Amino acid sequence: GPGVNRRLKYISLAVLVVQNASLILSIRYVRTLPGDRFFTTSAVVMAEVLKVLTCLLIVLLQKRFNLKETAFLLFDSIVVQYKDTLKLAVPSLIYTLQNNLQYIAISNLPAATFQVTYQLKILTTALFSVMMLRKSLSRVQWVSLLLLFGGVAIVQVQQEGKKEASVSDSSGQNYTAGLVAVVISCLSSGFAGVYFEKILKGSSASVWMRNVQLGIFGMALGMLGLWWNDGAAVAEHGFLFGYTGMVWCVIFNQAFGGLLVAVVVKYADNILKGFATSFSIIVSTVASIHLFGFHVDLLFTAGAGLVIGAVYMYSLPKAPGGSSSPSSSSLSSSASSASPRTDGGEEMEAFLPKSVMVK
């Protein structure tokens, strides 16, 4: 009944918060540890491999482990409908770039700063949605986007001031590089997300199949990035150089975080996703205080508060009769009605729209 569904919503929300916060903190941790540094480019490839394997397993599961049928479906989806697959090369290229940028950013910025600045992707996503999907935003949403920008700016100013105070920072962190990486990452993230949404709307392929297609490009592009950036070093030290248990945890986290978001968006709405983002900002900030001796002052609190408020405002339901575009509202309602909840062991089916299950 509705109780189970609500519980699922909040469980997926809690998992998303933990995933979001732990990913940032653990990347930060493994990148600042003494000892052999693993190649981040290889970690990006590894996460893609895990993602593809997981999705293939799920597709296989849906075909009741019928290898022949699964292979045929894969061949049809990926090779026969190659135009469809090629469309995904664009977001895939961007995601690969972005995963690498994320490592650069986190290696050069304090975790809390990264978290808050990264929220600019809500702004870029909104702008690309308006431009590419012809979405319309309510006045409250536009105000919230401005608040978001203000909050991020305040945090940046506060960090800039702190940087002046500790110029003799010996950890080899390049603040400007980190900042540029975040900004490019936010721009590319916004574009890729909207482009992906556009493709998903115009097709019947399942989320899992889409992720297999994305992952194939992701692995190829990731390998290219690896060769370009660390080719000689990897040849000398090996692909898995510097991998520790903790590094594997980060890679698993990154791989399943990506798939988790796809699932959460099916179950929970954007309001909850916004909550998850803001909660994880607070969680990582608090954790940073304990783990990395990050000092929170009034300015940071004000900036982070603004960001959290903005995320909440942006995800408030639009007032009826507002400027909500009919396409977006009808889409969300059809998505929720298209997932039959059966009491059997078919939870997997609930993640997929009807059109997929008919096949």
pLDDT, residue 165, reads 64
Q: Which residue has the tokens 């991020």?
A: 152
In a domain, 358, yes or no: no
In a domain, 321, yes or no: no
In a domain, 76, yes or no: yes
pLDDT, residue 166, reads 59
In a domain, 99, yes or no: yes
Instruction: Tell me how far the alpha carbon of residue 17 is from its chain's centroid.
Output: 12
pLDDT, residue 262, reads 66
pLDDT, residue 240, reads 93
What is the rounded CA–CA span in Å between residue 241 and residue 254?
A: 19
pLDDT, residue 242, reads 92
In a domain, 275, yes or no: yes
Give just the sign of the alpha carbon dihedral 234, 239, 243, 247. positive
pTM above 0.95, yes or no: no
**What is the DSSP annotation of 158-224?**
HHHHHHHHTTT-TT---HHHHHHHHHHHHHHHHHHHHHHHHHHHT----HHHHHHHHHHHHHHHHHH
Query: Is the Cβ–Cβ distance between 264 and 255 less than 8 Å?
Result: no
Full residue range of the structural domain in which residue 263 is found: 2-162+172-315
Give just the sign of the alpha carbon dihedral 225, 199, 345, 71. negative
Domain count, the chain: 1
Q: Which residue has the tokens 């002046």?
A: 164
pLDDT, residue 237, reads 94
Provide the strand spans (E) within 22-135. Answer: none
What is the rounded CA–CA span in Å between residue 100 and residue 66?
A: 36
- What's the CA dihedral at 114, 271, 26, 248 to 10 degrees? -130
Task: Enumerate residue ranges in the chain where pLDDT < 70.
Answer: 1-2, 163-172, 200-204, 262-275, 319-359
In a domain, 219, yes or no: yes
In a domain, 107, yes or no: yes
In a domain, 324, yes or no: no
